[in-house]
């Protein structure tokens, strides 16, 4: 960690689905000693957050093992006590990265009651909008798990992300309708603008799925139409 600071790294995004190993290890197959190291590193790093002007974000993947309010509030308190910049929640999806048990960890409509409790409790805390997801995120997640389709026209990835996947620059891993082309293609500014415009025009070809939440900014809400 110190080496990274010495080398000038100032932004850290760390996946912490729980501050308790018993819950964390249901989501991710790591040993207790690696988890303890992770927590120790996070503690050490947070001591530098003000002096070194760091941005530290905790990425919390919500599954049916960690989505209870007690776990959510523990993470928020942990982050606030250490002045951590941001806590970003996103629902689990099965892309093979999280863990082989991802299909069993998916959130479903059986989790709605707890999610509504979380939304109510977070709303009452009046947390800064750049610290954690908006109330709209929790409402969207509740709607999505209730079977309501979310509107892809509000997708923000053209403004905040470019991904390289198998040699192709993409808006996201799952968008099939357009990309920037191969990495060695000659891209001018006007070509990029044209491709972005086309992407935005055809966004209705996408369907919002659990994975679509992960690339959106922290204040993202799916419900509104793109203005």
- The binding site for ligand SF4 (CB under 6 A) comprises 152, 155, 157, 171-172, 174-175, 206, 208, 212, 215
Query: Least Å distance between CB 174 and ligand SF4?
Result: 4
Tell the smallest beta-carbon distance from residue 184 to ligand SF4 (Å): 23
CB of 103 to ligand SF4, least distance (A): 20
Cβ proximity to ligand SF4: between 24 and 171 the closer is 171
CA atoms of 111 and 180, how far apart (whole Å): 38
Q: Which residue, 12 or 144, is less far from ligand SF4 as judged by CB?
A: 144
- Which of 22, 21, 62 lies closest to 38 in space, CA to CA? 21
**Minimum CB distance to ligand SF4, residue 200 (Å):** 10
- Whichever of 171 and 180 has its CB closer to ligand SF4, that residue is 171
Nearer to ligand SF4, 28 or 154 (CB): 154
Measured distance CA(174)–CA(159) in Å, rounded = 16
Residue nearest ligand SF4 (C-beta atom): 206
Question: Based on CB atoms, which residue is closest to ligand SF4, 119 or 220?
Answer: 220
What is the closest distance, in whole angstroms, from the C-beta atom of residue 140 to ligand SF4 in the complex? Answer: 12
Sign of the CA dihedral 100, 138, 148, 145? positive
Beta carbon of residue 82, minimum distance to ligand SF4 (angstroms, whole number): 31
Name the region of 32 (left: φ>0; alpha: ψ -120 to 50; beta: rest): alpha
Q: In angstroms, rounded to a whole number, what is the distance separating the alpha carbons of residues 159 and 188?
A: 17
* b/e map 176-209, b = 16+ CB within 10 Å: eebbbeeeeeeeeeeeeeebeeebeeebeebebe
Q: Give the span between the Cα atoms of 34 and 164, in whole angstroms.
A: 29
Question: Cα separation of 102 and 105, whole Å?
Answer: 5
Of 35 and 199, which has the nearer Cβ to ligand SF4? 199
Residues in the chain: 227
Minimum distance of ligand SF4 from residue 68's CB (angstroms): 27
Query: Which residues lie across from 55 on neighbouring strands?
Result: 11
Roughly what angle, to the nearest 10 degrees, separates helices 112-125 and 135-145? 170
Residue number, 16 or 175, with CB nearest to ligand SF4: 175
């Amino acid at each position: 960690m110190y080496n990274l600071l010495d080398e000038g790294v100032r932004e850290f995004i760390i996946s912490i689905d729980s501050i308790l190993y018993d819950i964390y290890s249901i989501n991710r197959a790591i040993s207790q000693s690696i988890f303890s190291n992770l927590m120790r590193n996070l503690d050490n790093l947070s001591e530098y957050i003000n002096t070194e002007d760091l941005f530290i974000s905790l990425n919390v993947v919500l599954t049916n093992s960690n989505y209870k309010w007690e776990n959510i509030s523990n993470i928020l308190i942990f982050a606030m006590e250490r002045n951590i910049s941001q806590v970003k929640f996103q629902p689990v999806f099965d892309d093979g990265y999280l863990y082989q048990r991802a299909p069993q960890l998916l959130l479903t409509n059986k989790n709605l009651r707890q999610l509504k409790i979380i939304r109510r409790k977070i709303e009452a805390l009046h947390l800064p909008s750049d610290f954690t997801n908006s109330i709209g995120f929790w409402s969207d997640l509740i709607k999505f798990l209730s079977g309501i389709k979310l509107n892809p026209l509000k997708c923000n990835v053209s403004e905040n992300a470019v991904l390289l996947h198998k040699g192709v620059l993409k808006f996201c891993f799952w968008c099939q309708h357009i990309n920037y082309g191969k990495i060695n293609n000659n891209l001018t500014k006007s070509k990029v603008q044209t491709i972005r415009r086309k992407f935005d025009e055809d966004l209705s070809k996408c369907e919002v799925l659990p994975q679509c939440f992960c690339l959106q900014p922290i204040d993202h809400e799916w419900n509104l139409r793109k203005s």
